[in-house]
Structure 1
Amino acid sequence: MHEQTPDKPLPRDGEPYPDDGPHRRRPRPKPPEDRRTAGAGIARILDEHFAQPSAPPSALTGAFHDIYVPIHRNDDIANAAHRADADRVRSTGRWLVRHATDRCAATVGLALLAAVGTTDDIPLIQTIGLLSHRFGPLAAHALERLPGRLESLLWLADRVTGWGRVYVVEALCRLDDPGARPWLLRKAVDGDFLNGYFAGKVATVARLHEALSEFERDSELLDHTGRLLHVMTYCGGMGTTLRRYPHAAVVLEAHARHVGRLAPTIERFFIVAVLARHLTTEPPENHGSTEAQRDAVLAAYFSLLDREDWCGLARAGLAAEDNRLQWLADSGAPQLHLRAFADRDVPADDE
């Protein structure tokens, strides 16, 4: 599957997996009530296995079916890996990642490589990491601890979506490496709802507020900034919102000042409308602005939304049933009374 789309995420994150489907014998075990014990049973199996010098890696196939296997780094599993001979642990992890036909054993194999893997294992870790919903957390942790971590994490970040993207982008943010800044500022947000878990971290770690002078010559940065701002309007309970982002006012002002020089697109119209809606429904102090600063940003946004070329594109997108514009017209921003949707405005009931 990766060879068919070498520079893109796997379709459906690689699902269905080999152990999916009606042939599965029983539901997977649920996590224990005390999550701190989640890896204890696996560690015992590993200790017993590595205590037998002649036991091949294939002996672990099927050994974890009846045990909950955590998908994140686990101290008990990592400690079991470090108690045994490192070369044997590595060869066992490699075999399980390459040959296991069930997620349980493959996950344990990846956990072993996350504990004692070397740079030789990076291509294998990246490959299994493409199945990112399941293997993303351990793959990101494994790559994060190895030399060349920035390059290997960026390679994977370009090829994962959903939860996998959350794990890898958060790992890049933890690195706080200047080399990650260009990617974080231009590519981190891909439009998935789960971007809410890391958008604020990206803006903070990549020092977005220091890059605003680049808006004049970098439309990719400007568009991505719009996506970051949009995500921070809705991500309460997930990550940093505009209310908690200390540079919200200056970034909003710069975005409003520069986005109008770009040609209209459906995404730009949608983001500007959503930001305008947010600014009209939140007090200015919730994004660090004075009332005058908020009004100036709103005026810039409404000026764009009223421009004939922007309105014409929005009408065409609505006619083509673009879901973003349908949401805006029907429920996302009717209180804005946008000219592009004038014929869809529904008068309020007289009471």
Structure 2
Amino acid sequence: MGLALLAAVGTADDVPLIQTIGLLSHRFGPLAARALERLPGGDAEALLWLAGRVTGWGRVYVVEALCRLDDPAARLWLLRRACDGDFLNAYFAGSVAEATDLHEAIAEPCVDDEIADHTGRLLLVLTYSQGMGMTLSRYPHAEAVLAAHLRHLERLGSSAGRYSTAAWLASSLGEDGDAESIGPAERWQSYRDRYLALLDREDWCEAARKALAAKEPGVLRLAETAPGRRLRAFADRPRPGEE
């Protein structure tokens, strides 16, 4: 009840209290985000503080509030850190893409690593977001963002995270993907082929093998799946039960 009152009539003096209660985000996330958003001009700094400390449903409410703010600092954070790997990211991925004008940001010739890597994660979320938020098939700039993401991968080279993201995108854009989220797989064939071509390059394969040897969690999980076993980097890896 107290937080509801703060959400309605709170002032800047109440921000520390709202933030503290907002850390219990599974229960109090919606009201805390609303309270901070309704302050004059929207308190982007306070919302960003909270966004860096909450997960799950709490993160959904805070990110959605940040998407509604016309604030440069919020936009920069959304471009780099909105998606944290949680399945619930699907509720806000489309809003992040639209609020940040992602298709314009990623089109820049030399975006930093964080934006390029986060764009890959965001695209991947859109491939399974049916029933939760905007899907890749309904995102109006999908082709432009996919093409730009591929250009940056070719420029930046491989890492464990980029390899995993590219591999899952290649799988999700094909016949094995979620048809309700991607629509006809034929629409994405050229992009899928380009991701697969990257994954087949020796330098990318070597990066994946090193990550596997180091037991990098994302690459390890990928190598144990059917899509992963079809990749050249893991072609000689024993299947479960064959070690």
Shorter-chain TM-score above 0.5: yes
Change (3 A) 1:194 1:332: farther
Q: Deviations over 1:65-96 (max 9, x none)?
A: xxxxxxxxxxxxxxxxxxxxxxxxxxxxxxxx
Cα drift, residue 118 of structure 1: 1.4
1:127 equivalent among 12, 17, 20: 20
Cα drift, residue 210 of structure 1: 1.5
Give the aligned residue type for 1:302. L
Question: How many angstroms apart in 2 are the aligned matches of 1:214 and 1:297?
Answer: 19
Identity of aligned residues (%): 62
Judge conservation of contact 1:227–1:271 (CA < 8 Å) in 2: yes
1:145 aligns with 38
Question: How many angstroms apart in 1 are the aligned matches of 2:152 and 2:131?
Answer: 30
Question: How many angstroms apart in 1 are the aligned matches of 2:7 and 2:14?
Answer: 10
Judge conservation of contact 2:150–2:194 (CA < 8 Å) in 1: yes
Question: How many angstroms apart in 1 are the aligned matches of 2:213 and 2:178?
Answer: 34
The higher relative CO (CA closer than 8 Å, separation ≥ 6) is in 2
Q: Deviations over 1:152-180 (max 9, x none)?
A: 21222122222211110011122344552
Judge conservation of contact 1:199–1:240 (CA < 8 Å) in 2: yes
2:108 equivalent among 214, 233, 238: 214
Question: How many angstroms apart in 1 are the aligned matches of 2:109 and 2:21?
Answer: 37
2:82 equivalent among 166, 184, 188: 188
2:218 aligns with 324
1:279 aligns with 173
Does residue 238 (structure 1) correspond to residue 132 (structure 2)? The answer is yes
Question: What SS class does the counterpart of residue 83 from structure 2 fall into?
Answer: coil
Cα drift, residue 144 of structure 1: 1.0
Give the aligned residue type for 2:15. I
2:155 aligns with 261
The runs of 5 or more residues in structure 2 that have no matched partner are: none
When normalised by structure 2's length, the TM-score is 0.86
Cα drift, residue 263 of structure 1: 3.5
Q: Deviations over 1:169-196 (max 9, x none)?
A: 0111223445522221111111222111
Q: Deviations over 1:81-137 (max 9, x none)?
A: xxxxxxxxxxxxxxxxxxxxxxxxxxx221221122111101111122122222211
Give the aligned residue type for 1:252. L
Segment of structure 1 superposing worse, 179-188 or 162-171: 179-188
Question: How many angstroms apart in 2 are the aligned matches of 1:334 and 1:187?
Answer: 26
Judge conservation of contact 1:248–1:288 (CA < 8 Å) in 2: no
What is the aligned length? 236
Judge conservation of contact 2:36–2:43 (CA < 8 Å) in 1: yes
1:310 aligns with 204
The runs of 5 or more residues in structure 1 that have no matched partner are: 1-107, 347-351
Question: How many angstroms apart in 1 are the aligned matches of 2:8 and 2:16?
Answer: 16
Change (3 A) 1:217 1:203: closer
Question: How many angstroms apart in 2 are the aligned matches of 1:334 and 1:149?
Answer: 43
When normalised by structure 1's length, the TM-score is 0.61
Cα drift, residue 151 of structure 1: 2.2
Question: How many angstroms apart in 2 are the aligned matches of 1:137 and 1:190?
Answer: 19
